[in-house]
Amino acid sequence: MRTANARTIVIWTLVALVGAAGWVVLALSRGEEVSAAWMVAAALGSYAIAYRFYAKFIAYKVLKADKTRATPAERLNNGIDFHPTDRRVLLGHHFAAIAGAGPLVGPVLAAQMGYLPGTIWIIAGVIFAGAVQDMVVLFFSTRRDGRSLGQMAREEIGPFGGAAALLAAFAIMIILLGVLALVIVNALAESPWGTFSIAMTVPIALLMGFYLRVLRPGRVAEVSFIGVGLLLLALIAGRWVAESSWAEAFTLAPSTLVIWLVAYGFIASILPVWMLLAPRDYLSTFMKIGTILLLALGVVITLPTLRMDAVTDFASRGDGPVFAGSLFPFVFITIACGALSGFHSLISSGTTPKMIQKETQVRMIGYGSMLMESSVAVMALIAASIIDPGLYFAMNAPAGVIGTTVENASQVVSGWGYQISPADLAAAAASVEESTLLSRTGGAPTLAVGVSEIFSTVTGDGLKAFWYHFAIMFEALFILTALDAGTRVGRFMLQDTLGNVYKPFKNVSWKPGLIITSAIVCGMWGYFLWVGVHEPLGGINQLFPVFGISNQLLAAVALAVCTTLLIKSGRLKWAWITGVPLVWDAVVTLTASWQKVFSSDPKVGFFKQRQVFQDAIDRGEVLAPAKSMEDMHTVVTNSTVDGVLTAVLALLIVVVIVDAARICVRHLRRPALTTSSEAPYVESKLVAPAGLFATREEKEERRATVSTAAPGD
C-alpha cells in the first residue's frame, strides 16, 4: 500500500487551503468589493481535491475498475461505432460532446439571483452529483457492451420501469437537442464571421480524421498541430469574409440556419465516428479548453470585481425578468450542465463506452471531463457577474418587458434598482460593434460581453469588438459539438428501442436502420428548433425551463439506474454515492415540474399562461409581446405542448424511481432472483495508461509488451 510522502502532503494541504480561502471570502463578503479571482480559487481548489481523492476512491474502491478486462471498443471493434480511441482524443471528444449550451447559458441566466447561489451549486453539485453520475454511467455501460441508458434501465429495472425510462430518455434527448440547436441559431444568425468559421471546422475535421486513419495512423501530435493551425486560420479568415463581398453568402437568417443544422446533424450521425465526430470534437476541444484557460488566466491577471450582488432581491421575490420563479428550485434547474446534467449520461452510455480503451480511464474521461465542464460554468458565471448589472438585465430581459429603445430600457432597469443610462447602453453596443445589445437573450451575448471585458483589459479596448465576436463564435463551436454527438446518441437510443420490435435495428451499424433512425431523430429535434425560432415569447425564455427540467429529470433516471446497479452488483454499502444525489435531484426537479405545470402565476405556470392568452384571444385582444393573433395562437399551442410534456416526463420519472426501488428491495430480499446483463470477462490485449500521463509502472508495462510482441504484430 502506497503512503503519501511529506512533499505530497504539503502540496495537497496548500491546494486545500487555497480552495478554503476562496470559499471563506465568497461566503462572508457583504457590501465590499470581491475579486472574481476568489471564485476561481474556490473552484480549482475544490476540483483538485475531489479528483485526487473522491474520484479515485469511487473508481478503484467502489467500482473496482479492471485494467485487464477488455472493453467493448476492443472486443467489438468494427471501425464505425466501436473503435479503441486514444485516451487524449477520447477525452477531447467526450468533453466536447457533453459541454454544450448548458454550462454557458445556464449560469449566465442564473446570475439574476446573484453570484453566490450559482457558485455553490456549480462546484458542490459537480463534485458530489454530476461527475459521479458521468463516471458511474460510463463504467456500467462499458461493462454492458456500450448499451444506452434507456436499454440498461429496461434490462436492469424491468419492462415497466425500463419502458418508462426509454420513452422519457428519448423524449428528453429530443428536447435537449432542440434547445442546444436554438442557442447556436441565436448566436450565428446574421453573423457571417461566426458562420464561416464554424462551417470551416467540418472540412478541417474530415482532413484530421483521414490523416489519423489513412495517412499517418497514431500521429496524434502531428494532426493536433495541423488542426489547431487550420482552426486559427479559419477564425482569422472569418473576419476577412465578414468584411468582403462573400459576407452576404454567410449571412443567414434563423430559418435558413435551422435547415443547415438539421442537415449537418443527419450527416454527422451516419458517418463513421473516426471520420468526422471524434476529430471534430477533439479539434474544438483545443479551442474550448484554451479559451477557458485564457479566461481564468485573464481573471487572475486583471482581478475584475464581481459587480453583481452576492444574492439579489429576485432570489426571494421570484419575479426576475430573466426567468420567473424562486431561488429554490429554479436555480438548480437553470444551472443544469456544469453541476448535474442528465444529457451527459446519454454520452456516457452512447459514443464514449464504444471507444474507451480501458476501464481504468473512466475516472479521467467521466469524472475529469465533468470537472472541466464545471469550470466552464464558473467562468460563464464570472463573465456575467463582472459586467454592469444594469447592462446584464437590459441584455437578458425580453423586449416585451424593457421595450426596444435605450431610453425605455434604462427607465425599466433603473426601476429594478440597477442604474444605467441610455448613453451607457448605446456605448456598450458600440464598443463591440453591434447596433444594439438590448434583449439579447439566451446568455451567449452576455457571456461574450464579459469575455471581451476581461480580454480587452489585457490587450486594450481597441480589440474589444474582436474578442466579443470571437466569444460568440467560440460559444457556437462549443455547442455544435454537443449537437452532433447528441444526434448520434439519439440514433443509438432509437435503434435500441426499435430493436425490441425488429431485431436488425439492434445492430447499431446496420445501414438501413442507421439512416432511418438518424432521419427521425433529426426531424424531431428540428421541430423543436423551428418552434423556438418562431416563438413570440422568445424561444430561450419559453424553452429553457423545459430544457432544465428535462435535463435534471434525465439525471434522475441515470442516478436511479446507477443506484440499482450498485445494489444488484453487491455494492449496497456504497449505494449512497449515487442514492443521495438521486434524492436531492428528484426533490428539486419534481418541485420545479409541479410549479411549471400548476402555478397560478402566468410567468411560471405553462397552463396558466395558456389560459391567460386563450382568454385574450376570446376577447379579441393581443397581449404583448405578441404582435398578432397568429402570435397569440402560437403562444397557446406552445404553452400547451410545454405543459403537457413537463407533466408527462415528471410522471414517467416517478414511475422509473418507484420501479427501481421495487427492484432494489426485491434483490435485498431474494438475491437469487437477480439477473445481470453484464458482458462476460474477456482478457484485454491492449496496453494504455489510465490517466493523461503514463505512470512509471504503465511505461514499463508498455515497454514489456512491445519487447515481447512478435515481429509484424
Q: Rounded to an integer, what distance in angstroms lies between the CA atom of residue 509 and that of residue 499?
A: 12
pLDDT at residue 538, as a whole number? 61
Q: 400 exposed, middle or buried (CB, 10 Å; 0-12, 13-18, 19+)?
A: middle
pLDDT at residue 427, as a whole number? 93
Q: Report the range of poorest mean pLDDT among 142-146, 263-267, 443-447.
A: 443-447
Rounded to 5°, the CA angle 139-142-148 comes to: 100
pLDDT at residue 505, as a whole number? 84
Q: Report the range of poorest mean pLDDT among 71-85, 289-303, 418-432, 554-568.
A: 289-303
* Residues pairing with 35 in the sheet: 305
**pLDDT grade for 156, boundaries at 50, 70 and 90:** confident
Before 625, cis peptide (omega within 30)? yes
pLDDT of 391-411, one tens digit each? 999 998 877 788 889 999 999
In the numeric block, the cell 421570484 is attached to 318
pLDDT of 41-78, one tens digit each? 999 999 999 999 999 999 999 999 999 999 999 999 98
216-221 average pLDDT score: 74
Q: Report the range of poorest mean pLDDT among 38-52, 333-347, 624-638, 696-710.
A: 696-710
621-639 average pLDDT score: 84
416-427 average pLDDT score: 92
pLDDT at residue 2, as a whole number? 57
**pLDDT grade for 204, boundaries at 50, 70 and 90:** confident
User: Which of the two residues, 488 and 516, has the higher pLDDT score?
Assistant: 516
Q: Rounded to an integer, what distance in angstroms lies between the CA atom of residue 25 and that of residue 116?
A: 11
Q: Rounded to an integer, what distance in angstroms lies between the CA atom of residue 78 and that of residue 354?
A: 10
Q: 245 exposed, middle or buried (CB, 10 Å; 0-12, 13-18, 19+)?
A: exposed
Q: List C-alpha distances in Å: 710 to 48, 79, 87, 684, 713.
A: 42, 24, 25, 17, 6
Q: List C-alpha distances in Å: 395 to 182, 444, 526, 534.
A: 18, 10, 27, 20
- Amino acid identity at 446: T
C-alpha torsion 328→366→526→528, nearest 10: -10
Residue 24 confidence (pLDDT) above 90: yes
User: Which of the two residues, 710 and 594, has the higher pLDDT score?
Assistant: 594
**pLDDT grade for 280, boundaries at 50, 70 and 90:** low
573-577 average pLDDT score: 96
Q: Rounded to an integer, what distance in angstroms lies between the CA atom of residue 439 and that of residue 404?
A: 8
CA atoms within 13 A on the CB side of 298: 22
Q: Report the range of poorest mean pLDDT among 368-382, 394-408, 552-566.
A: 394-408
Share of residues in the chain with pLDDT > 70 (%): 95
In the numeric block, the cell 460568440 is attached to 472
pLDDT of 645-676, one tens digit each? 899 999 999 999 999 999 999 999 998 888 77
Share of residues in the chain with pLDDT > 90 (%): 41
pLDDT at residue 1, as a whole number? 45
Average pLDDT, the chain: 86
Residue 712 confidence (pLDDT) above 50: no
Q: 294 exposed, middle or buried (CB, 10 Å; 0-12, 13-18, 19+)?
A: middle
**pTM, 2 dp:** 0.86
* Contact yes or no for 87/352 (Cβ under 8 A): no
User: Which of the two residues, 593 and 677, has the higher pLDDT score?
Assistant: 593
Which helix (H) or strand (E) segment holds residue 442: the answer is none
215-222 average pLDDT score: 76
Q: What is the DSSP code string of 8-58? A: HHHHHHHHHHHHHHHHHHHHH--SS--BTHHHHHHHHHHHHHIIIIIIHII
Q: Rounded to an integer, what distance in angstroms lies between the CA atom of residue 472 and that of residue 114?
A: 24
Residue 492 confidence (pLDDT) above 70: yes
* Residues pairing with 305 in the sheet: 35
* Contact yes or no for 470/295 (Cβ under 8 A): no
The alpha-helical segments, DSSP class H, found in 211-341 are 220-242, 254-270, 277-302, 314-317, 327-334
Q: Rounded to an integer, what distance in angstroms lies between the CA atom of residue 564 and that of residue 157?
A: 7
Q: Rounded to an integer, what distance in angstroms lies between the CA atom of residue 602 and that of residue 612?
A: 7
| All three cell numbers of 478 | 462549443
Residue 541 confidence (pLDDT) above 70: no
Rounded to 5°, the CA angle 370-373-378 comes to: 125
